[in-house]
Chains A and B, each alone.
Chain A
Amino acid sequence: MAHLTRSFEIKARDFSRAGEVSIEVQGILKTIGFEADCVRRASICAYESEMNVVMHGGDGELSLTVDPENILLEVEDHGPGIENIELALQEGYSTATIQYREMGFGAGMGLPNIKKNADFFEIHSQKGQGVHLKVGFKVDGDNG
């Protein structure tokens, strides 16, 4: 199976496109022929992190890297960053506004959900410097 790297721009507060990058990633992973559960977990992580950039972050980028054994997602934005990562990772912690809650988001389950679904999880951030998230998925067997 081919190695593949693709990058996508994510615009902060752009709800006309919020989630489209993740749906494109889902399509690519399905087309390659990865197992359904793996595609689902990776797509959910992509979507939760894309929505976080749109709602809480600044303009950023999602990169997808695929090789025969791994799917890697890197999501980086240049927004306000997260001051207390440990707190942000707790289930239920959210700074989401009423507007986001009315859209069905802001339950504070995004980052914990990403961590749960990923086989590899790394997050770096400093106040004022954006967020850099890396999540990986082990792919078993002979896809593509």
Chain B
Amino acid sequence: MKLADIRDTLHAQVIVGNDKLDLSVKAGTGSDLMSDMLTGPTSGAVLLTGLCNVQVVRTSVVAGVVAVVLVRGKQPAPEMVTQARKHGLPLLSTPFTMFSACGRLFDKGLRGVEEKASRS
């Protein structure tokens, strides 16, 4: 799935990454726990999260997450936007809740990271 499809499916606002809409996203993951992101397979995935701070950006970069979507219409503080830009990490905001956002992407064929792990 392309980042542009994620934007359309989630009616999302692209805050950082308008130049990367062609990016391929291999899987999806939803978490508010940064510790969990570091213990499971997340490489190549889009992260859906309700957590809205700078550390989300840095954890995503380390974990190999390729894009972050903030759920429930959360708007990042300027520092989070600056960091996402600096690290080349696309940052989106969707009005949908975590459950609905995950469901919409799943419905369009995106699967969880565990399936990516078992396929490979």
Task: Give the interface of A toward B (CB within 8 A).
Answer: 15-16, 18-20, 22-23, 26, 36, 40, 43-44, 46-48, 103-110, 113
Contacts and interface: CB of A to CB of B under 8 A. Distances in A.
Given A18-B58, A22-B62, A43-B62, A104 B39 contact: no
B43 interface: yes
A23 B34 contact: no
A19 B37 CA distance: 14
Nearest to B56: A104
A132 B58 CA distance: 24
B62 A103 contact: no
Nearest to A48: B38
B61 A23 contact: yes
A113 B32 contact: no
A107 B63 contact: no
27 contacts: A15-B54, A15-B55, A16-B79, A18-B58, A19-B58, A19-B61, A20-B58, A36-B43, A40-B43, A43-B62, A44-B38, A44-B62, A44-B63, A103-B34, A103-B55, A104-B35, A104-B51, A104-B53, A104-B55, A105-B35, A105-B55, A109-B35, A109-B36, A109-B39, A110-B38, A113-B35, A113-B39
A109 B36 CA distance: 8
B21 interface: no
A23 B54 CA distance: 13
Interface of B: 32-36, 38-39, 43, 51, 53-56, 58-59, 61-64, 79, 87
Top 8 closest A-B pairs, CB basis? Answer: A104-B34, A19-B58, A107-B35, A47-B62, A109-B35, A104-B51, A43-B62, A113-B39
A15 B53 CA distance: 10
A63 B55 CA distance: 22
B31 to A, nearest CB: 8
Contact of A107 (B33, B62, B79, B87): B33
A19 B63 contact: no
B60 to A, nearest CB: 10
